[in-house]
Amino acid sequence: MAAPNAITVQQLNRLIGTPAAPIVVDISIDSDFEADPFFIPGSFRHPHTDIEGLKHRIGTGRCVITCQKGAKLSQGLVAWLRNDGVSAEYLEGGMFAWRDDPKTVRIPANAIPAQTHGSTIWVTRHRPKVDRIACPWLIRRFVDRNARILFVSPTEVNDVADRYGATPFDVEDTFWSHRGSNCTFDTMLDEFGLHTEALDRLALVIRGADTNRHDLSPQAAGLLALSVGLSRQYRDDQDQLIAGLGLYDAWYRWARDGFAEGHDWPTDRRT
């Protein structure tokens, strides 16, 4: 019987990538992490000795604590946090159990840009449409929930990146951009190791919309229409991004759970 303060790999995996995902904290000791330097999507590292600092980072949110095996390190910290009123659970089996489950994905630590002031910083061209909303959604849902996304004039992207330690994306001649016939969203799936059935299905729609190849997916034209409409609703790019996160949350759930569902009107019903 599972402990009341535990969560299984399967349970956590269903939450990853959704707005309901808990804050995931990896407290593995340095030698364990260095031997297997990968992250559960959306997680961050924190020393188990800095409990007050961790409570500040977590705030009032629900959290899952993981270590190498899900034993004394994570269970002890979860017990401490729950004593202090924090909604905390430990991951059963820890990072080994997550690694060994064929349905999970892991992000290589060296793929994630360095943090500045507690978050990764990304910069791109202003007035986003498809890729420049889809990529921030992917980053915030699967890589760094606190990521800062900067929208600036196209001519200033690289200089802003240099001055503020930001990572440019969806800009020509940069690492995080289109590659061949693929768009920047595809590049991020490749580099972060985030290829799942759901994200690959969503990527096909995004690629078709972003590169105007609607033959790739019957949903591509719909995504482009929604993206254009969204861009016309908002003058401020950050307001548009916030609205777009909800849009892509819905697209992700379609790609994960609802892609086979249809809808019609019974032909024998009287009008």
What tens digit of pLDDT does each residue of 187-241 get?
A: 999 999 999 999 999 999 999 999 999 999 999 999 999 999 999 999 999 999 9
pTM reported for the whole predicted model? 0.96
- Location of each CATH 3.40.250.10 domain in the chain: 6-108
Mean pLDDT of all residues belonging to the chain: 96
Burial code of 199-229, b = ≥16 C-beta within 10 A, e = fewer?
bebbbbbbbbbbbeebebbebbeebbebbee
pLDDT at 149: 98
Which tokens go with 135?
Answer: 């990529």
What tens digit of pLDDT does each residue of 23-74 get?
A: 999 999 999 999 999 999 999 999 999 999 999 999 999 999 999 999 999 9
DSSP 257: I
Fold of 6-108: Oxidized Rhodanese; domain 1 (3.40.250)
Cα–Cα distance, 181 to 197 (Å, whole number): 20
pLDDT at 265: 81
Cα–Cα distance, 69 to 162 (Å, whole number): 40
CA dihedral 53, 51, 115, 31 (to 10 degrees): 150
Residue 264 pLDDT class (50, 70, 90 cuts): confident
pLDDT at 270: 65
**Of the listed ranges 45-49, 81-85, 99-103, 114-118, the one predicted with least confidence:** 114-118
Identity of the amino acid at 114: A
pLDDT of residue 271 exceeding 80: no
pLDDT of residue 268 exceeding 80: no
**Phi and psi torsions of 122, nearest 5°:** -125, 145
pLDDT at 267: 76
Grouping H, G, I as helix, E, B as strand and the rest as coil, residue 182 is: strand
Q: What is the mean pLDDT of residues 143-162?
A: 98
**Phi and psi torsions of 148, nearest 5°:** -95, 130
Strand partners, 148: 121
Cα–Cα distance, 112 to 37 (Å, whole number): 11
Cα–Cα distances in angstroms (integers) from residue 181 to residues 186, 187, 194, 219, 256, in the given order: 10, 11, 19, 18, 24
Residue 246 pLDDT class (50, 70, 90 cuts): very high
Write the burial class of residue 125 (CB in 10 Å: 0-12 exposed, 13-18 middle, 19+ buried).
buried
